Structure 1
Amino acid sequence: MTVKYAASWRRIAFSAGFALSCLTIFSLALSFLAPLEYPRTGGGAASPAVGVVASAAGTGSLGVFDVAKENRRPGTPRDQVPTHWSSTAALEGFLGQNASTPRQRTVDLYINSTLGSINVRAFRVGYYNGAGQRLVWASGPVSVRRQRSCTVQRVTRMVSCPWAMTTRLDTGNWPEGLYYLILTGAAGQAHMIPLVVESAAVKGKAVLVVNDCTMQAYNRWGGYSLYAGPGNRYRTRSYKVSFDRPYRNFTEIDRRDTPLIRAAEAIRDPRLRLAYTTEARISGNPSLVNGAAAVIFAGHSEYWSPALRRNIETARNGGTNVVFFGANNVYWRTRLEASRTGANRVEVCYREARLDPARFSHPDAVTTQWRQGPRPDAESTLTGAVYGDLQATGTFTVTAPRFFAFTGTGAARGETYPGLVQGETDEVYPTARYPLLRYPANLHVFAHSPESGHHTHHGWADSTFYTTPAGAGVLDMASMDWLLAQTESTVPARSRAFATRVTQNIIAAAATGPLGHRHS
């Protein structure tokens, strides 16, 4: 761009005189430094070509974020949003930050493509009267090119992409929340990158957590994840995975995170205050969620660093409610390390203590299951229950109808709701059989649901609740697809209506202060 404009000024100087050239340069400089204002069209905003910084001026709300006001805006119909995303050399990308944070609203975007030029659109996920999302911003043509080949670290088999930054997005005026950044080519190619525009403050709010660490563990872009490597073999898996690469597996965000966001923002209560962040952000910021009314995890928050667990437990001990709307939470102990793009961009999980180089120097950081040695600390002391089964199906069964979550449902003891126990499940196992397990002293099972899955034909999904001396309540729904089931037409309408009311009861109650002060 600099060379192009320099040549232009020389031509002007020779043709129109030195004075006119100086005046023109001065005017251009002023306009270049001024913030760009893009006209809004429909539910979003359109922009001309993106340079180094893509401005989003005028597309969001300044000051205190009002989730009810945001959801009164017209949403974007789902048929205008791509639903089949690819991740190939034709078009793919990743972000250089785990989130757009209050201190760093400009986000680096790395794109690899053979298409020459693409467009970027930002859809905010929400309720929007059932539409489910709103187009907040759209770019003009963005120049893209083929990037350098990605590397595979020999020992850890970590895939990372040493790409040059393509452009920057200025999210300063975007409303807080979860976004789909959708890259599109002229022939309809589409690639999606999740982005969280983190809340400026969380005090007194219900914080919705996007499971970016768990997503990255399952991400098989480049042929490796924490589960498998070439040939889909466990023994060729990665020991480390990097955020410096595109996503290939979009299941986690589609089936876990977006249902939570939409369910929370559908609550029609002007007093509801929501905030948004990610697992990696909490892990790297000890006081990030202190003072929040609640911290709410979606369907699957499986990979936890010691820092993430310590920070959530500190908030809980201070009176912050914690809600797990899924199952198989806090299962693998991980570490987060820095990459070339910043802190907490590499996730470490060897899975076996004998493989982890930290087993001698830092035994409390060895990346195995939390319930395993050398320093076992079962997840049940935080979640209330432990992972039990996968590929499960079962019938949600009420055991405590007076529990606050069932208010207004008409549920009676023994009432059953088919279709709500799906995927992975949690259970309260007897400590006589599993002596390493520990449970909170006042643990309450409010639903004891029969299930059958991969590990057992006659198991249980135990939905639990307990309170702390500071008044915090901790709730575990014990079914990974609890939120997803509310949107599936194959689930009976009666079950969906029941689950929707229960979910909204839990979020609304958790958002108004320590549950232990009102519910025992």
Structure 2
Amino acid sequence: MTVGEQDGPGRRQVLKACAGIGAGAAALAACERAPARDTGPPRAEAERDRPGTRDWRLRSQGPPDAVAGYTDRVSVTPGEEVGLHVSTTAPAFRVSAFRVGWYGGTQARRVWSSPRIPGRVQPAARLLPDTRTMLTDWQRTMSVDTTGWPEGAYLLRLDADNGHQRYVPLIVRSTRTAGRTVLMHAPATWQAYNRWGGYSLYAGESGAYADRSLAVSFDRPYDDSGAEKFLVYERAAVVLAERLGIPLAYTTGTDVDRDPTILTGASAIICLGHDEYWTPRQREHVTRARDAGTNIAVLGANTCFRRVRLEPGDTAADRTVVCYKTAYRTDPSYPAHPAMVTTDFRQAPGADPESSLTGVLYEGYPVDAPYVVHAADHWLHEGTGVRQGEGFDHLVGVEYDRVTPSEPTPAALEITAHSPLVCTGRRSHSDSAYYTVPGGAGVFATGTMRWVEALMAGTPDAGRDHGMDARTAAFVTRTTENLLHAFAAGPAARHRPAPRPNAHQVYTI
């Protein structure tokens, strides 16, 4: 599949108030018994070890208008207030704030609950015709005070009196990241795929690409459960990282765009399972952190593929994600500001392929293929017992990246997995790759979007496991543990074996 084809039709449409998970029940029990390697500060350890609850999941979504909501800020710092805008057909509802983490395997802790709040049906959404942007003018239902909430990734669950529920995601972000591993959440990508109201950056109400939004607004709920992209591509990595006990920080791509200092001194930045939409400033700030010695792990594919712009909404700054894609000639930035034109990073004007940062280049969709180990003796695979050429069914998908030597690619790059595949009739490969830079940072990219999903394969929490089994989950889990422990220890080039450059050898065989 060519890059140009992927956008066609049919594409992925508070009042104040285990590591071993993927390996099945036996491994989960072992994880709860085994002492974790805990290098985190005492407060982080205390939070991880607090009792959690399994009652964080949705039991009934009901029809789309049963209950839905959104926050007026993508993230807040601990102690800040955030407005919650809710519409429901029920006479009343309650809100519970669940912090996602290890918590003895329960995966969440209820941090706060509201009293019963009167419900109301808010006005219908409106469409901005110039950019086909769907947004609401809902009144603020309540103000949520986050005093006492630890930094982290949260699911606000709306429980309506009619028995139906929805999530509203919220990141309580860190104010400093020095010496910590930063989990960088991807709300711009969540919003790009959000179909609520009938419009996303992929399709309009008719389902056609030609009628898609050119800009999407955070002033509306997310579709489906209210937090689908977080649940599928991010939650399992949060649970694993917290179980390990390494010092963690939380932020979002929109925060990294806004604050050039937020990554200063960070040990590592973790890009999660699907982090496609970046601003040029976000990329600049992440690249600057890498060059200063901050490691980067890309636990997905299609990362840093789209160039976007954040613009104000009606109520606040950074409430609109702009991406004209193939209609870039109608972008107001064209042609005067080529580096800001919202098309793919690799496309003119201002072409700057993502591979110079990630080491790999996005190539295609859809695909389903085994993940094939190429460097079994790499430090990433310590303790996995894998052999050269060993495969893990279904781990490559649904999108994939590969090393492309003809594009900007770090010279000292080592391919650690080289997985044959067929995508829309064309033979190719997906690659995992590792490289280092003179400042000492290591960068690793998995080359597959299913990496985070695989962490919970074979368990009741797997959701869409795509046929991946507990063996695959155990391999991905141990490899990710090795990666996170190594990157948390500082610039990887200083304490892990250097890459053994092999890209040209692999692609001339």
CA-to-partner distance for each residue in 1:84-143, whole Å, 9 max, x for gaps? 5457333211101110125x6211111122323110011111122221111111111112
Matched, 1:253 2:230: yes
Do the aligned residues in 2 keep the contact of 1:421 with 1:461 (CA within 8 Å)? Answer: yes
Q: Which residue of 1 aligns with 2:279?
A: 305
Distance 1:164 1:248, change over 3 A: same
The aligned counterpart of 1:220 is: 195
- 1:469: which partner in 2? 438
Question: Which residue does 1:370 correspond to in 2?
Answer: 345
- Using the alignment, how far apart are the partners of 1:495 and 1:360 within structure 2? 47
Aligned with 2:298 (options 324, 332, 344): 324
> Which residue number corresponds to residue 261 of structure 2?
287
Contact conserved, 2:88 with 2:160, CA < 8 A, in 1?
no
Q: Give the CA RMSD over aligned residues.
A: 1.8
Q: Is the 8 A contact 2:60 2:164 kept in 1?
A: no
1-side partners of 2:298 and 2:250: how far apart?
15
Deviation readout 1:244-273 (Å, 9 max, x if unpaired): 110004431111010110121222x5xx10
- Aligned runs of 1:337-486 on 2, under 5 Å? 337-352=311-326, 353-431=328-406, 437-454=407-424, 456=426, 458-486=427-455
Q: Which moved further from structure 2: 143-152 or 337-346?
A: 143-152
Query: Which residue does the alignment assign to 1:151?
Result: 126
Who is 1:106 aligned against?
A: 81
What TM-score, normalized to structure 2?
Answer: 0.85
Deviation at 1:475, TM superposition (A): 0.8
Q: How many angstroms apart in 2 are the aligned matches of 1:86 and 1:462? A: 41
1:85–1:308 Cα change, 3 Å: farther
Amino acid at match of 2:119: V
Q: Secondary structure at the match of 2:438?
A: coil
- Aligned residue type for 1:482: W
Counterpart for residue 94 of structure 1: 70
Which residue of 25, 34, 47 maps to 1:70?
A: 47
Partner deviation per Cα, 1:344-364 (whole Å, 9 max, x = no partner):
110000002222121122111
Distance in 2 between the 1:291 and 1:111 partners?
39
Q: Identity rate of aligned residues, in percent?
A: 38
Task: Tell me the CA shift for residue 81 of structure 1.
Answer: 2.5
Aligned length: 451
Structure 2 residue ranges without an equivalent (≥5): 1-13, 18-40, 459-466, 499-509
Distance (Å, rounded) in 1 between the aligned partners of 2:240 and 2:61: 24
Matched, 1:124 2:99: yes
- Aligned residue for 2:474, secondary structure, equals helix
CA distance in 1, matches of 2:124, 2:469: 48
Deviations 1:353-384 (A, max 9, x none): 22212112211111111110011000000010
* Equivalent of 1:242 in 201, 208, 217: 217
- Determine the C-alpha separation between the residues in 2 that align with 1:491 and 1:347: 34
1:181–1:418 distance in 2 versus 1, CA, 3 Å: same
CA distance in 2, matches of 1:381, 1:363: 19
Question: What is the deviation of 1:179?
Answer: 0.9
1:455, distance to aligned residue in structure 2 (A): 5.9
Alignment partners' CA distance in 1, 2:358 and 2:223: 29
CA contact (8 A) 2:457 2:472 kept: no
Maintained 8 Å contact 1:370/1:378: yes
Amino acid at match of 1:118: F
**Closer, same or farther: CA 200–170 of 1 in aligned 2, 3 Å:** same
SS at structure 2 position matched to 1:308: helix
Q: Is the 8 A contact 1:87 1:246 kept in 2?
A: no
1:285-312 Cα offsets, whole Å, 9 max, x none, are 1111121100101111000110110111
Query: Quick one: distance in 2 between partners of 1:410 and 1:248?
Result: 41
2:252 aligned with 1:278: yes
Deviation at 1:420, TM superposition (A): 2.1
Q: 1:210 to 1:246 in 2, by over 3 A?
A: same
Structure 1 moving runs of 4+ over 6 Å? none
Q: In 1, are the aligned partners of 2:234 and 2:452 still within 8 Å (CA)? A: no
- Partner Cα distance (2:243, 2:359) in 1: 28
Which deviations, in whole Å up to 9, do the C-alpha atoms of 1:65-94 show, x marking residues without a partner?
A: 73332221222125x521554573332111
| Alignment correspondent of 1:333 | 307
Residue 263 of structure 1 pairs with residue 232 of structure 2: no
Partner of 2:180: 205
Give the direction of change, closer, same or farther, for the CA distance of 1:295–1:248 in structure 2 (3 Å limit). same
On the 8 A contact 1:97/1:341 being kept in 2, the answer is: no
- Once residues 138 and 116 of structure 1 are traced to their aligned partners in structure 2, the CA distance between those partners, rounded to angstroms, is 18
What's the TM-score, normalizing by structure 1?
A: 0.83
AA aligned to 1:54 is K
Query: C-alpha distance in 1, partners of 2:247/2:347?
Result: 38
Change (3 A) 1:231 1:262: same
Where 2:369 maps in the other structure, the secondary structure is strand
Alpha-carbon separation, structure 1, partners of 2:420 and 2:105: 32
1: CA distance between counterparts of 2:425 and 2:50?
46
